[in-house]
Structure 1
Amino acid sequence: MNYEGQICRAPMERASFMLPVMVGCSYNRCKFCNLFRHLKYRELPMEQIEEELKRVAELGGNPKKIFLGDGNAFGLKTEHLMEILDKIHVYFPECYCINMDATVTSILRKAEEELELLYKNGVRHLYLGIESGLDDVLKFMEKDHDQEQAIAAIERIQKAGMLFDAHIMTGVAGKGRGTENAEALADFLNRTHPRHVVNFSMFLHKEVPLYRHIEDGTFVPADEVENLREERCLLEHLKGNEILYDGFHDFIEVRVKGTLPKDKERMLAKLDQVIAEYEHREPVYAYVRGECPDLEKCENHRSLWEMEDAKRMTV
């Protein structure tokens, strides 16, 4: 597979055939994210997509599940998505499940008839970056939705038959707001009934616009113990049935995984154990350098912070 950029997909898709249909992310403005900032967004031509399908078929591949990459494949025009789905079914007629990342805005832009058509042609799981349960946090991080818009979008895809899978982040609200964010997120998830919830500590990078706010004190990061307490509060308040939950804290190598509500007490006990182990140590922060060789100056030798300011001036 010819792949440009960093492979990024939900852990539930680890056994799926990943079919690139675009490079980068069509939105690419979230302040905390460095996954696609070094890439120039573009849609891949159908010839290249079909070549990859043909290559896998000729090697004897017969995937039953396919994940369309990269960021926000659901944002492609329905006509283009349908052409991709048709090609998939030609090469892999036994494929029954085609999943991808989406944004709230990309869902709201599609008519009900389009959503129903995509479902009938195999689209099943949409992964949405919900991130926070607080509207002021979403606005600060430059997400492209608020809570009510997200609820409206999720209701529309569920009506069409699709499943909603939530990506959320502990620490996204900053120091001192973990409990507030957890309670708001639990309320949101209890209303929207996701099939999967993937939760991880928000990574802190020097190479993204959020770091400017860390430097000037307008955003103070939470450490991993606060993030663990936030996750514990979230799990305590979640009430859905048969929610597959997967929580990651890479910098202290902790993973909390199970099915709610069946495994809730076991997961809470594990969090209690880890909190007790780390709460008297030096604080640990989910800080990384990122994978772009020089992400601060990846486009026309301009810093990302300059680029973000220029975007705001043109909006």
Structure 2
Amino acid sequence: MSKNLLEQLREVTVVVADTGDIQAIEKFKPQDATTNPSLITAAAQMPEYQDIVDQTLIQAKKDAGNKASQAQVVSLAFDRLAVSFGLKILQIIPGRVSTEVDARLSYDTDATVAKARDLIAQYKAAGIGKERVLIKIAATWEGIKAAEVLQREGIHCNLTLLFGIHQAIACAEAKVTLISPFVGRILDWYKKDTGRDSYPPSEDPGVLSVTRIYNYYKKFGYKTEVMGASFRNIGEITELAGCDLLTISPGLLTELQNSTAALPRKLDANNSATMSIEKITIDKATFDQMHAADRMSSDKLAEGIDGFTKALITLEQLLATRLARLETEMVTA
């Protein structure tokens, strides 16, 4: 019987589930799983995960003390909810879960480091070692510098909202564990900028960006792993077969599972090693210069941070509403 595309992909690439939906993770049984503020916010609104939200709020209220305001309880629960989902996910997967630092700290190195340490401490208190957690940080210069500090402490980092080669090189030189270049968001930008409706998978700007980063890393022997993310169609995924990891939404995992087309390997470190590629050294001045010159990266990084920030605000509002309801139920019980 022919193998489906998902089975073939798993032979050359580590498949990661890009979702906060625990039922989807149980269905596809990926090696790792990633979440982000938008995914956690969406999952927190699903009826099947209301218990996780309620338990997190109740424990936060207990820990905050009787004199704590609703805002203080919500703030504490907010900090813990991503870890609560992460703990549930780690009961299912054999590998690592990515948990994201508050996007509002993206330009503050010290605050990012402090928040990452707190997340790791929460996992440790629940019996989870730091080898099973990837701390997700936006790939701003400040975020990359925070990751450099954390990596030296043995805290593994996943640099997200990554759109340009300058971000990727800075991450590799900071010795981060993993990067998540966003394929689909790059495609979105180019379609809007050029007015084109579509690109063939082999010419997809997001695919070309990840391919360039992958080849650069393998050419110069960087240990940082490349995990393509944010896919719009399975053509983008199949063009990156052989990438270290790919994080894929449940909908696209289903499409891959339902196809038995052949899957040739497109990325191979042995081929990368023979390529003629110029090495670039990135300091802050070079990073800033390259970032300013790259309209797409500049636009998408700012837009991504803004989008995640809005999702976090929505989540805070959702938690406040749910807490008020729980308090009312406790009084009337």
TM-score band by shorter chain is 0.3 to 0.5
Q: Which has the higher strand share?
A: 1
Taking structure 1 as the reference length, the TM-score comes to: 0.41
Which one has a larger percent helix, Structure 1 or Structure 2?
Answer: 2
**Bigger relative CO (Cα 8 Å, ≥ 6 apart):** 2
TM-score by length of 2: 0.39
